[in-house]
């Protein structure tokens, strides 16, 4: 069996899922899927269990594993960049008229590309030096789709999280939310 390109493999797996709109939620949760009518599916790194890892299965962060015809030995398995998979989802949702789902996954694409900008910023490095366990979390309920929004948080102790900053990446620029005298959002440039 010939192995398809990453783009074709992602598109085929998506098209074999009978309840297309569900894939937006799966993508937001970074959770894969698999159908039983042809053995097509997608796995995220977090989908692997202890048995998978013990047998050497590995999906690098930033990738998904896409398979067809139940994977090897009779089928295929392809590592696909997560951004490629998300782009294929947006295209399939748009073609099927699922505009809400297309917008949701498009915001995931923005978040995936914006997260690196946040983590590379002087703001993040400063917060990371001052607080334990600093992480960047995409905001799944972002106020609009014109930017990627993130919480910069600190994990300290069991189940304790503190919000340190709310930021967005818009037009390639990082901005931090503060408030004006009236208490309204004020977005200021951040480095």
Whether the per-residue pLDDT at 112 is higher than 80: the answer is no
Q: Is the dihedral of CA 146, 152, 155, 156 positive or negative?
A: negative
**pLDDT average, residue stretch 87-92:** 94
Q: What local confidence, expressed as pLDDT, does residue 187 receive? A: 95
pLDDT for residue 119 is more than 90:
no
Q: What is the 3-state secondary structure (H, E, C) of 122-176?
A: HHHHHHHHHCCCEEEEECCCCCCCCCEEEEEEEECCCCCEEEEEEEEEECCEEEE
Of all residues in the chain, what percent carry a pLDDT higher than 90? 59
Please report which confidence band the pLDDT of residue 12 belongs to, taking 50, 70 and 90 as the band edges.
very high
| Residue/partner pairs of 98-105 with CB below 8 Å, 24 or more apart | 98/20, 98/21, 98/24, 100/24, 101/20, 101/21, 101/23, 101/24, 103/145, 104/24, 104/28, 105/24, 105/27, 105/28
- Overall average pLDDT of the 161-172 stretch: 89
- pLDDT at 171 exceeding the cut of 90: no
Rounded mean pLDDT of 43-52?
Answer: 90
pLDDT at 106: 85
pTM: 0.64
153: confidence class by pLDDT, cuts 50, 70, 90 = very high
């Amino acid at each position: 069996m010939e192995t398809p390109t990453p783009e074709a493999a992602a598109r085929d797996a998506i098209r074999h899922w009978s309840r297309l709109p569900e894939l937006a939620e799966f993508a937001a949760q970074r959770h894969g899927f698999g159908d039983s009518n042809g053995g097509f599916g997608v796995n995220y790194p977090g989908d692997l269990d202890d048995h998978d890892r013990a047998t050497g299965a590995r999906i690098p962060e930033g990738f998904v594993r896409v398979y067809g015809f139940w994977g090897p030995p009779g089928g295929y398995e392809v590592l696909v960049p997560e951004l490629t998979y998300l782009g294929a989802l947006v295209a399939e949702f748009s073609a099927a008229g699922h505009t809400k789902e297309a917008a949701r996954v498009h915001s995931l694409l923005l978040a995936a590309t914006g997260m690196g900008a946040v983590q590379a910023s002087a703001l993040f490095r400063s917060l990371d030096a001052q607080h334990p366990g600093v992480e960047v979390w995409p905001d799944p309920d972002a106020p609009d789709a014109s930017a990627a929004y993130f919480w910069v948080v600190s994990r300290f102790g069991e189940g304790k999280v503190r919000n340190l900053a709310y930021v967005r990446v818009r037009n390639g620029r990082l901005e931090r939310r503060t408030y004006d005298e009236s208490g309204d959002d004020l977005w200021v440039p951040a480095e």
